[in-house]
Amino acid sequence: MPRAGRGGDTAPGMPRAGRGGGTQLPACPAPGGGGPWGALPWGGVLETETWRRGGRKRSGEGPGRSRGSWSGAAMGGSASQLPRDLLDEYQELTFLTKQEILLAHKRFSELLPKEERESILLKRVPKSKILTLPELRANPFQDRICRVFSTAEDGDGSMSFEDFLDLLSVFSDSATAEIKSHYAFRIFDFDDDGILDRKDLEKLVNCLTGEGDETRLSESEMDQLIQNILEESDIDKDGTINLSEFQHVISRSPDFASSFKIVL
Ligand SMILES: [Ca+2]
Ligand SMILES: [Ca+2]
């Protein structure tokens, strides 16, 4: 489901290769999993899992469809129970199971004041409330995640129920590695300019190591790490990492996709 992103972004799930201007990626020497990306402490950072469901695989579909069909849906439901046809539609448009959608509905409605729970599909939950969810509270990328998945016009990071479903869909077990890496790229692109440059990478590393004096990298360590990351990723040597470069390098790091997970 996730809609084609802001600013004419390519819809996720679309293969980039072959599209005009797509970088032709050469086969890279395999880093054997020991490259600088692999060395970053991904484990558990993006992953929060407090509830497991019986996994059901859906491949080759899901996020990447247009957002269009959502808007009509949002007008319909007013009951606190999710109407059946809407549930079917949400299942169709996401990587989520019915069970997961119903749980998401319950959790989302609990974030709204009681009097607003009757019209959950028309309400937005402020970012501060969304971040009270234990699944996001400890996530170092929480602000970016809200920013990327929020459809709020003014960029306040507030979320509609459908934004919330988008988020859960992308972070679900069933979302493809390509979808996950597409959204990871957007999350790590702190200034939303469509490329990862040194500043983005520095923030990314600081998020992963924590800002504390003990864990934070020294300036020279940081420079070295970013240089290593660029050496491994920056195929066209323009000093930055674009989406296809990022997806290429991440595709060789199987640990990444499995750590890019949030399950309610
Ligand atoms: Ca950027
Ligand atoms: Ca580049």
* pLDDT given for residue 219 in this prediction: 93
Domain stop point among 123, 155, 170: 170
Residue 18 CA, ligand 1 centroid: distance in Å: 24
Burial of 139 (0-12, 13-18, 19+ CB in 10 A): buried
How is residue 78 written in tokens?
Answer: 């007013």
Asked if residue 137 belongs to a domain, the reply is yes
**Domain shared by 149 and 181, yes or no:** no
Pairing mode, if any, of strands 124-125 and 48-49?
unpaired
Indicate if the pLDDT at residue 14 is higher than 60.
no
H or E element in which residue 219 lies: helix 219-233
- CATH code, 139: 1.10.238.10
H runs (alpha helix) in 4-67: 36-39
Residue 257 CA, ligand 1 centroid: distance in Å: 21
The environment of the single-atom ion ligand 1, i.e. residues with CB closer than 5 A, is 189, 191, 193, 200
Q: Are 170 and 2 in contact (CB under 8 A)?
A: yes
Indicate if the pLDDT at residue 257 is higher than 90.
no
Average pLDDT (239-263) is: 88
pTM of the model: 0.73
What is the torsional sign of CA 182, 185, 191, 194? negative
* pLDDT given for residue 156 in this prediction: 95
Q: Exposure pattern of 46-79 as b/e (b: 16+ CB <10 Å)?
A: bbbeeeeeeeeeeeeebbbbebeebeebeeebee
* pLDDT given for residue 262 in this prediction: 86
Among all ligands shown, which has an atom nearest to the Cα of 233?
2
Q: Are 66 and 90 in contact (CB under 8 A)?
A: no
Residue 6 CA, ligand 1 centroid: distance in Å: 14
Residue 234 CA, ligand 2 centroid: distance in Å: 4
Question: Domain residues for 180?
Answer: 30-42+176-264
3-state secondary structure of 159: strand
In this prediction, residue 261 has a pLDDT band, given cuts at 50, 70 and 90, of: confident
3-state secondary structure of 124: strand
Domain stop point among 108, 138, 170: 170
* pLDDT given for residue 29 in this prediction: 37
Among all ligands shown, which has an atom nearest to the Cα of 246?
2
Residue 75 CA, ligand 2 centroid: distance in Å: 43
* pLDDT given for residue 42 in this prediction: 64
H or E element in which residue 179 lies: helix 177-188
Out of 51-65, 74-88, 219-233, 235-249, pick the least confident: 51-65
Residue 242 CA, ligand 2 centroid: distance in Å: 6
Out of 78-87, 121-130, 154-163, pick the least confident: 78-87
Domain stop point among 143, 170, 197: 170
3-state secondary structure of 156: coil
Number of domains in the chain: 2
Instruction: Give dist(CA 96, CA 91) in Å, integer.
Output: 6
- How many residues make up the chain in this entry? 264
Instruction: Give dist(CA 126, CA 95) in Å, integer.
Output: 25
How is residue 168 written in tokens?
Answer: 């859960």
Residue 175 CA, ligand 1 centroid: distance in Å: 24
Residue 109 CA, ligand 2 centroid: distance in Å: 43
Residue 190 CA, ligand 1 centroid: distance in Å: 6
